[in-house]
Every structure is written in C-alpha cells, then in structure tokens.
Structure 1
Amino acid sequence: MADRPDESGIVPFLRAGSAPDRTRREGWQQWRGQRDLFIPASRLSLEEYAALSPRRRGLHDIHRTATHMNIGLLETPMSAKVTKLMRARLRNNALNFGPGTRDGLMISGGGYLGKTETACAAAAAFEDVWRDLHHQLLPPPVEGTRDLFVPVAYCRTPVRATPKGLCATILDFYGAPHPKTLNGLIRAVKDSLRDHRTTALLLDDITRLRLHREDDQDTLDLIRELMDLNVTLVLIGVNIPRSGLVRGGFADASTGQWIVPPIHASKSHNPAAATQTERRFDLVDLDPFDYDTSEGMTAFIEHLAGIEDRLRLFRAWPGMLTEGEMPEYLYRRTRGIVGLLKRLIEDGSSDAIESGTEMLTPEQLAAIPIRLGNLADRDPSEIPEIPTAEPLPAQPKPTARRRGRNTVFDDRGDRAAGGA
C-alpha cells in the first residue's frame, strides 16, 4: 500500500523538516526536485478500510487528509496561457547569445489565483530542460564562471523596497556576502547573476513598490538595469497595470508588448540605476474562471472534475462536484478563484472525514467558512474579498390544507323536522 512505512519506519507522505524556502538556492532546488514526488493515498473501499487495524485506519485517514491538502495546482486555460508564454520567453532569451536587453514578462492578476505557483512551475520545468542540456553540452566548469550553476533565481520584493534591500534579497538567494556600499551591492548582484549563469530572475510581489517614494522609483530603475545582463526578468504582482509600474509606458500595437521608459534619469541618487534604454515587457493576466459563457462553464466543470478525481472520500460518487447544483454553488462561494476553491475543498474534505459523512454536498459546505491563513507576509492587495456563504434556498414548504368550516349547525333544508 502507498501509506505503508518504509524500512526506516518513516511514512512516505510525511514531510521531514520544514517546507523548502524557495527564496534560497538550496530551498529552490529542494522544491524543484520534490515538487512531483507526493504519493496520494490508495483508493480503498469501505470494506477494505474496515478490515484494517485501528492503527492502519488512523494512518490511512491522515494520508487521505494529506492527499486533499496536496492536490496541487491543476492547469486551467488561464494558467496554460501564462505557462506557454513564459516557457517560450525563457527558452528564446536563453538561446539569444548576443548582447543587449532581454524582453521581460509581467504576470498580473488578483490574489489567490495561482500566479506564483504557475510562474514557479514554468521556471522549474525550464530549468529541468536547461540543466539537462547544460550537462550534455558543457559538463566541465566554464572558464570565468563559478562551478555552481543556477539557471533560475526566485526572490520576493522587500516590503519596504530600497535598492539596497533588493540587492540584499537577491544576494541572499545565492548565499553571497553583502558589501557595505550600494555600488558594491549592485556589483555583487551583477557578478552573481553572471557567474552563476542565471538566465531567469523571478521577482514576486512586485506591486509592493509604491512609486510615490523615491526609494521605490530607484528600486524599479535598478530592476530594469538588470535586464542588460542577459537575464529574463519575470515580474509577478497584483493588478500591475494599475500599480504604476508601467507608468509612462504604452502598448506597441504591432507586438502587443508594453514599452516602459525609465521613470527618471537625472534625479536618482542611485548612480547605476536609470538608463535611457526603453524596456519591453509582455504583460499577461491570470484571471479567475468565467461562468458567464459556455466555454467558461465547461472549463470550470473540467477543473472540478480534476479535483474530484484526486479526492479520497469513501462515499464520493462520479459527478459529486460536477453535476446538479454543485458547480454553480462552488462558483458562487469562490467566484472562480482557484485558491479559494482549493481552500473550501480542503476544509470540506477534512470535515467529511472527521464527521464520517465521507462526501461533499452544498448543505455540508454551506456550514464551512473560507479562512485564509498565512496572511502575515502578504500585501493587503493580495488578499481577495471572500464571498459570504449564502444560505441554501429553502425548500418550499407544502401548502397547508385549509381547515374546513364546521357545518354541524347548517340548515340544509332537505331534511324533515324531527317528530313531523
């Protein structure tokens, strides 16, 4: 069975240690290597489950819960569009050996739509291919570079961004020391990107930049400067077009790309920040599901079918999430936001196991609020408005029969009087 302990006594679905920190090189590599290794719980019938010992039943219940917590990010038509564009951009830029600026990519969307996971999954898939190609064609160390090959770097924009703070964040990914001066920090960042042969730099939470502050403007100028280092810059954030990051930019009608000039060139106190070179970005939105069109409804129901296939509830049935009123109910509860849907299904499945119902119904889910955890390190703009759980429409009560009038004392007129 999949939940049987191995020779070391460790159950395979349990995680040893803390979750990988993708903002560090070691954590990114750990996550990249383990991202598809989770083993879901085996499918058992109620009879097979009842035949297990109490200990094995308890382990299987924990494994089922872990399976529901690790459904993962299922591909949607929206995420497939982002993945296709990102993989093409990373591959094409990595194969461009000429000098000059590399076109970047902006991934925009609301909170809990899977922007980070979609971008990281696409970057990890690119790194798998790029590492394999590198080991085949350039197995020995390359002169003028470091032996440690780091094709992809993932960082999060500091909450209060400054050029020094951003440089420190990037250097922390590589585990590199921090020079004391700003010029030294910028030079160390450029050296790390070049020496480790990094071809993709992902900057998450980019809309933390508030461009009314001069430090934030200088930080954005520094980010654009990094595009001259043969690095594909991927900026990830909430509603980027309205954040001011593309202020002064315009969309090229022939290519659809955003052309973003420097914010300023003379007032910056960062001597290496602003340049006169225009930067080009493809801007792609990751939207929630649309339930107003037949294509959107079909895509949402197919997504529900993928989730349903991964559930391990004993009384589940084919169509539990895709038939009847359930799809419309789930859409009303989550507005098509995949992160909210995932949380509702997770909590509902846990309740179904604990209560013994072993199924999901609108009546059961109506009593489960959607609670979002891990909000301490999130920007307020990343937190979506959670729809209020609507009570299910009450079933129409049967119409009460009107009580008849007492007719005992009515004069019917057709009976003879008593004694006549």
Structure 2
Amino acid sequence: MNTSARNDLQQHTTARLGDSLPFLRLGPRPDRTTYQGWQQWRTTRGSFVPAPKISLNQYRLMTPRKRAIHDLHRAASHVNMRLLETPMSARVTALMRARIQNNALRVEPGTRDGLMINGGGYQGKTETACQTAAEFEDFWWDLVEELGPTPIPGTRDLIAPVAYCQTPVKATPIALCEAILDFYAAPYGKNLRGMIRNVRGSIKAHSTSALLIDDITRLKMHREDDQDTLDLIRDLMSLDVTLILIGVNIPRSGLLREGWHDPRTGQWTYQRLKASRSYNPDASTQTERRFDIINLDPFDYTTDAGISAFLTHLAGVEDQLRLFDAGPGTLTEGRMPEYLYGRTGGIVGLLKRLLEDTCTRAMERGLETFTIDLCDEIDINLGNLPDRDPDAGEVPHIPDTTPARTPSKKRRNTVLDDRGTPQAADK
C-alpha cells in the first residue's frame, strides 16, 4: 500500500471512529506551544461530552458491547473532568484579564506592565492562565469579525492575539528565542541578534497582545546564561505586548530580589538592595516594578471560608462522577472532605489525580462507589513526568498520610449481579 492510500485509509478510519465514539481522542493532543496547536485547543476546549448518567438497571439492559463502550466513556469522563473555578483562580483570572485588556487598549508607546502567576506545582497555574488568555482571544476575534477588515484572498492570516511557550529546561537567550519563534513557525536567524530581531518582528507582525512564558523559574540566576535570558525578557517588555510569566516560588527564585509574603498585607516584601559591582545595581527593580505577582494557592482548611470553598469544589467534582453508587454526598459528607484534604493538601492537581485513579479502581473492582478504604489503596506517584523539572519545584510534595494497611483480597465484580427485576428503560 503506498503512502497516499495509507493516509486515505487512516483518515477514513479516524472519521468513522470519531462519528461512532466521539469521546475518544484521535491523534496527538494539541500542542499549545505552536500557533496551530493553540488554535486547535482554543476552539475545541470544553467540547468533551461526559458519559450520560444512567441507572444500574438501564446499564444491565444494554448489550455487552454497549456496556463496554459505556464503561470506556465513563473512564474518559473521569480523566477529563472540567476545570472548576476556585476563589483563588478567580482572583488570578480577574487580574490577568484586566491587565491584558488595559494594555491592549493603551495607545501611548512605552513599557507595558506584566503579570507573574506564582504558586506550587500542580495547582492549576498553567490551565488558569491559558483559559483566561483563550477567553480574551475569543472576545478579541468576535470584535475582529464584527469591526475588522475581511481577509485578503491568497495571503496568510498574520493575527495571533495570544502566544504561549515554555521556558527551556536549560535556559539560554537562544533557546528562549527558539521557543517563541517555534510558536509562530518563524525562521530562527543566523545569530542571537538576528533571532531577537525575528522575535520582535513576529510579535509585532502577528499583532500579539499577550505572550505567556511558562515555567519561568527554570531560570537559575546564578548562571550567566539565565541572567542573559532574563535580560531578554526585560527587553520584550518594551514591545506592545503583555508578558505573563508563570512559575513556582517566583519571589525566592532570584528573578526578583529575595522576598517573602507578608500575610498581614497580602503583599510580597523584598530585601534592600546590597552594594554591587554592577554598573546598574538597581536593574532587578525593573522587573519587580513592572510585574504584579499574584498567588494561586491551594485550598485552606483552617478557616470556615476555606472549608466552605473546598466543599463547594468537591460538590462540583462529585457531580462529574460516573459511578453508579456514587450519589450526592459521596465526596462532601462524613470524613471524606477532611480525608481528601489530608491526602492532597488542598492542591487541585493532586486531588484530580487521586479521584480519577480511585474511580478507575472502583470500576475495575465492580464496586461502583467511592470510599476512603478504596482511596487508601491509591498511591499518588508523580515521579515519571518528563516535562516537569523537579529542581524548579514543578513536582509538588505529596502529603504522606496514607495509613499502613495489609494487602486485601481482590473483590468479586458485582456489576452484573441480579438485584431484582429491573424496570424497563426509556427508549
């Protein structure tokens, strides 16, 4: 079979699977670090349809094949739970949306103030920032379609309101330029000066309003290359673009002067500048004065407001469970809320991992419920993450609260047990 015929067959098979099993992801996931991947993710985000909620009697009336497909759909629903807004993420979204919009409306030339989103690993910083940027772009495209000029046939659309890239693990000015240019599929240039010129040109030519640079704390400021990379980022601040820097423990990373969070004021306090041999000892203040820092913290279980917010979040997650015996109160009543907080420290990413793994175990065992005993069997293991840099704090500490236990015997699958005469399902 030649290449053309094989591609046609693959496309035909993909189309058939997409029509019959729309919940399956066919092909690679969108790569948000490229323009095409970002647009694919932006236009399809939130399109996943979870498995319908049906009774156990209705499930039993299905054919074996339909039961298998429904189980697969339920599993997909558990690993694709929608991102829920929290009081912490709402504050980040509000500030980020206002900063991008205000800078986009500013007509005077000059440096645009940026934003740093700070927090621990697995707390949803990247997803919150990307969702907010995508919402801005959705709004921007609505304005363009209503007020903007029509596309010119035969030309390439140069509009990219949002650009997203990740800081390379070994950061250098060249590597960061390559990461930005890869988003636009633009040529690199022959040397660093040419690469910087192409970066500046690409941002202007594509009318980019917001540039998101993730994992910014991969910069180690004791290295000369990393200091040069930060200088490059400062240089980009002079463009008509809002820089959104995302990282773990930014105030203590060296990107700014050494700082600590004052709980009384809710602000970051920085040490006084020390004498330096540098010709410009105040250079670090250029960054801290041009960027607001906002924290995306985990849930707090020490106050009534924090506990209420955590219970509200659990209720929203509970509604997305597709276990037959997991009804209202499964995650929000009894010891369960305190247990889940103790296992995850209130970190939304760890909570999601624990919930989806426990749901998978419940379906495998035929238990169709969510219990503490079942959660105890799940170990949250984040050790095999090739795209995460532990040295930069991107892998969070997992609370070691799982009690010692003896191995239990494998329980019998009871999903298909006869529990009485089933009622006829609606057609």
TM-score bracket, normalised by the shorter chain, equals 0.7 to 0.9
Q: Residue 138 and residue 75 in structure 1: after superposition, are their counterparts in 2 closer, same or farther (change >3 A)?
A: same
Alignment match, 2:367: 357
Alignment match, 1:98: 108
Query: How far does the alpha carbon of each residue in 1:129-169 deviate from its partner, in whole angstroms, 9 at most, with x for none?
Result: 01111222222369xx9732100000000111111111111
Tell me the SS of whatever aligns to 2:20: coil
Alignment match, 2:398: 386
Please tell me the root mean square deviation across aligned C-alpha atoms, in Å. Answer: 2.9
For residues 234-313 of structure 1, the aligned pairs below 5 Å read 234-247=244-257, 279-313=289-323
Greater C-alpha radius of gyration: 1
Q: Residue 392 and residue 318 in structure 1: after superposition, are their counterparts in 2 closer, same or farther (change >3 A)?
A: farther
Length-normalised TM-score, structure 1: 0.84
Tell me the SS of whatever aligns to 2:237: helix
One-letter amino acid matched to 1:385:
H
**Is the Cα–Cα contact under 8 Å of residues 6 and 12 in structure 1 kept in the other structure?**
no
Matched, 1:13 2:23: yes
One-letter amino acid matched to 1:152:
V
Tell me, in whole angstroms, the C-alpha distance in 2 between the residues paired with 1:342 and 1:393: 23
Q: Residue 8 and residue 129 in structure 1: after superposition, are their counterparts in 2 closer, same or farther (change >3 A)?
A: closer
**Which of residues 206, 214, 220 is equivalent to 1:210?**
220
Q: Residue 292 and residue 60 in structure 1: after superposition, are their counterparts in 2 closer, same or farther (change >3 A)?
A: same
Alignment match, 1:77: 87
Offset of 1:388 from its aligned partner?
A: 2.0
Tell me the SS of whatever aligns to 1:85: helix
Tell me the SS of whatever aligns to 1:316: coil
Tell me, in whole angstroms, the C-alpha distance in 2 between the residues paired with 1:174 and 1:62: 37
**Is the Cα–Cα contact under 8 Å of residues 171 and 225 in structure 2 kept in the other structure?**
yes
Offset of 1:229 from its aligned partner?
A: 0.7
**Which of residues 324, 336, 340 is equivalent to 2:346?**
336
Query: How far does the alpha carbon of each residue in 1:228-276 deviate from its partner, in whole angstroms, 9 at most, with x for none?
Result: 111000000000001011127999xx99799999x99769xxxxxx899
Tell me, in whole angstroms, the C-alpha distance in 1 between the residues paired with 2:160 and 2:278: 32
Q: Residue 200 and residue 117 in structure 1: after superposition, are their counterparts in 2 closer, same or farther (change >3 A)?
A: same
Length-normalised TM-score, structure 2: 0.83
For residues 141-290 of structure 1, the aligned pairs below 5 Å read 147-247=157-257, 279-290=289-300
**Which of residues 117, 120, 130 is equivalent to 2:127?**
117
Q: Residue 96 and residue 166 in structure 1: after superposition, are their counterparts in 2 closer, same or farther (change >3 A)?
A: same
One-letter amino acid matched to 2:178:
A
Query: How far does the alpha carbon of each residue in 1:277-323 deviate from its partner, in whole angstroms, 9 at most, with x for none?
Result: 66511100010100010101000011000000011110112101000
Query: How far does the alpha carbon of each residue in 1:353-379 deviate from its partner, in whole angstroms, 9 at most, with x for none?
Result: 111110101111111111226511211
Alignment match, 1:399: none
Tell me, in whole angstroms, the C-alpha distance in 2 between the residues paired with 1:222 and 1:180: 17
Tell me, in whole angstroms, the C-alpha distance in 2 between the residues paired with 1:7 and 1:212: 52
Which structure is higher in helix share?
2
Q: Residue 258 and residue 191 in structure 1: after superposition, are their counterparts in 2 closer, same or farther (change >3 A)?
A: farther
Tell me, in whole angstroms, the C-alpha distance in 1 between the residues paired with 2:205 and 2:101: 19
**Is the Cα–Cα contact under 8 Å of residues 152 and 201 in structure 1 kept in the other structure?**
yes
Matched, 1:368 2:399: no
Alignment match, 1:138: 148
List runs of 5+ in structure 1 lacking aligned partners.
Answer: 268-273, 395-420
**Is the Cα–Cα contact under 8 Å of residues 257 and 281 in structure 1 kept in the other structure?**
no
Q: Residue 363 and residue 249 in structure 1: after superposition, are their counterparts in 2 closer, same or farther (change >3 A)?
A: closer
Tell me the SS of whatever aligns to 2:246: strand
Runs of 4+ in 1 over 3 A off after TM superposition: 5-10, 248-251, 254-261, 263-267, 274-279
- Count of aligned pairs between the two proteins: 379
List runs of 5+ in structure 2 lacking aligned partners.
Answer: 1-14, 407-427
**Is the Cα–Cα contact under 8 Å of residues 18 and 24 in structure 2 kept in the other structure?**
no
Q: Give % identity.
A: 60
Offset of 1:389 from its aligned partner?
A: 3.9
Alignment match, 1:411: none
One-letter amino acid matched to 2:394:
E
